[in-house]
Amino acid sequence: MTTEDRRLNPHTGYTRRHWEAIADGLVEAAWRWASPRGARLDLPGPPSSNGARSDGLEGYARTFLAAAFRIAGAGGDDPHDWLPRYAEGLRAGTRAPGRDDADSWPTILDHDVAGQPMVESASVAIGLRLTRPWLWDRLDEPAQDRVENWLRGALRHVASPNNWYLFPFTVAGFLESVGRGDGETARARTRALELLDAWYRGDGWYSDGDGRAFDHYNGWALHLYPVLDAHLTGKHDVHGDRLRRHLADLSLMFGGDGAPLHFGRSLTYRFAAASAIGLGAVTGDTPLAPGVSRRLLSGALRHFVDRGAFSPDGLLSIGWHGPHRPTAQHYSGPGSPYWASKAFVCLLAPPDHPLWTDPELPAPVEEEDRVVALPAPGLLLQSTVADGIVRLHNHGSDHVRPEEGEGAAGDDPHYGRLAYSTHTGPTAVGNPADNHLDVIVDGVRSVRRRIHPLGTGPDWAASWHRPVFVSGSPMRPGLRVESMTLARGPWELRAHRIVAAPCGSRVSLTGWAVGLEATSELFPLHGWETPDEVRAPHGTAYTRWAVMPRLTADAEGTCLFAALALLTADLAPPSPPVVEVPEGDRIIVHWRDGSHTRISFEPLVVTHS
């Protein structure tokens, strides 16, 4: 057991040796499930939609990533003799791709035809690039040719229209680094960088493809691949500058207990949410002091280690803390959680690097209460020192592609909610939705799909959406919901303007879904008629069983609703502000410090005095 160092690391106790030990345990545990020649790690559990063969490649590729960071960061020292195992797996997997046997890898095809191997090709390429002197350079030329031929499938097939274009980019970067580049690799890299520029929305934020998909993929994919490539090439480019800007925001998204925000898809990757912080520390593209970077990195890793992310046999489960199927996507299989390996990029910083030698410093959430608007993605961050909770109010990220109709799908708990936090998770489909404003027409509740930002200010964000009904007519003519969140301390003012509600409609607003770990309240201010409490028996990623406050009222035509929401683990939260709605279309907030905020919806105007 690695000894904690609370002198240098007063917040987490974790040292670089802890990171090495956890990487060692992660890889060793997974290798117990290796195929006969080690080409696949067929981990136990239900297969993904991609099938067991693809899942086994996923286990190999993603653990190779952890091993490569570990070994490269140690200057080639391989105390567990992993590289010979991975080398033999390469030989076996690429000998006859697509063959139905125990070791052959699946071929790389288009993203819509069992395309998952394209994702894994990037991890294989990074692993080979990082360990080149000790693995690739020791392969015989026929084996190198077979590996290249398999990898080139990523350059010759169609990627999913999002971060997937960085997988052929990464493969091409490796091939060029070993003298195997050509026009095909150059085209793959140019295309990826062109798309990356098109998806850049400013202030360090990329959308994950066309549309408005902002989530953890911004850090663990869209920043990680180009910046790591530039670092390994010995260059610095605009992508490093963008990462530096992004880390100013990302550093605010971790709770006092180390938890990242439970928001967006692929959350089973867990502490990969901190990978961009580690990369920035390695490359120097960061505004964060080394002690802050380590606090965030080790806090995230320890959060999951201490809360059961690793099973007793050392495997990462599909879930958040422990196993939790609603956290997964259809493409999540037993090997999927091992994209968490990206966090070990921090091990590329050697033991004498300030990332490991400077004293650990407080995380931003531990310094002061904050409310920070992020205009590019349309998000509002709110954090409180007293309980260490970070809350994200979503007025801009919806993961709906431009070609999709707004009524094309049902509820998406990972994007459709009004708010997310480091302390709570969304309720599962089939349970009442948390943090949701729904319009109820003919007994059918609406969901929130495409989100249209209306603007942000220093302490507020707003958006509108067309309510979508999952049965019957998917939309009602003219019906729209305008939503606005104003935050200060732990308090959230949630104001909603319903436009063109049909006769006989009802509306409801739910608060945060909690178990026994926090307090969740909703205080009606205007328009709401009935407060009550609703249960979510399927719970969340944080609690097996959850409860949330709810407000309901009748609605017809255009009407305004306002409420105060509270999520806190503070036993003595500050007093709420006083809120008045003098004319039914304006809201005035009287804060306890004597300041005032005035809000109107047509047009949306927020002023402070």
Per-residue pLDDT tens over the stretch 592-606:
999 999 999 988 999
pTM: 0.97
Domain borders along the chain are 16-366, 370-608
Cα dihedral angle (121, 208, 177, 16), rounded to 10 degrees? -80
Looking at the DSSP assignment, which residues form a beta bridge with residue 551? 509, 531
CATH number of 16-366: 1.50.10.10
Residue pair 30/41 in contact (Cβ under 8 Å)? The answer is: yes
What pLDDT does residue 1 have? 66
Sign of the Cα torsion 494, 497, 502, 503 reads: positive
Give me 598's structure tokens: 């005035």
Q: Which CATH number fits domain 370-608: 2.40.50, 2.60.40, 2.70.98, 3.30.70?
A: 2.70.98
Question: How far, in Å, CA of 239 to CA of 245, rounded?
Answer: 10
Residue pair 287/244 in contact (Cβ under 8 Å)? The answer is: yes
Question: How far, in Å, CA of 459 to CA of 596, rounded?
Answer: 13
What pLDDT does residue 471 have? 82
**What value, to the nearest 5°, has the Cα angle with vertex 298 and ends 276 and 119?**
40
What pLDDT does residue 408 have? 62
**What value, to the nearest 5°, has the Cα angle with vertex 554 and ends 495 and 557?**
75
Q: What is the DSSP string of 163-216?
A: GGGHHHHHHHHHHHHTT---HHHHHHHHHHHHHHHHHEEETTEE-SSSS---ST
Q: Which residue numbers in the chain have pLDDT < 70?
A: 1, 407-409
Burial of 169 (0-12, 13-18, 19+ CB in 10 A): buried
Give me 422's structure tokens: 């480091």
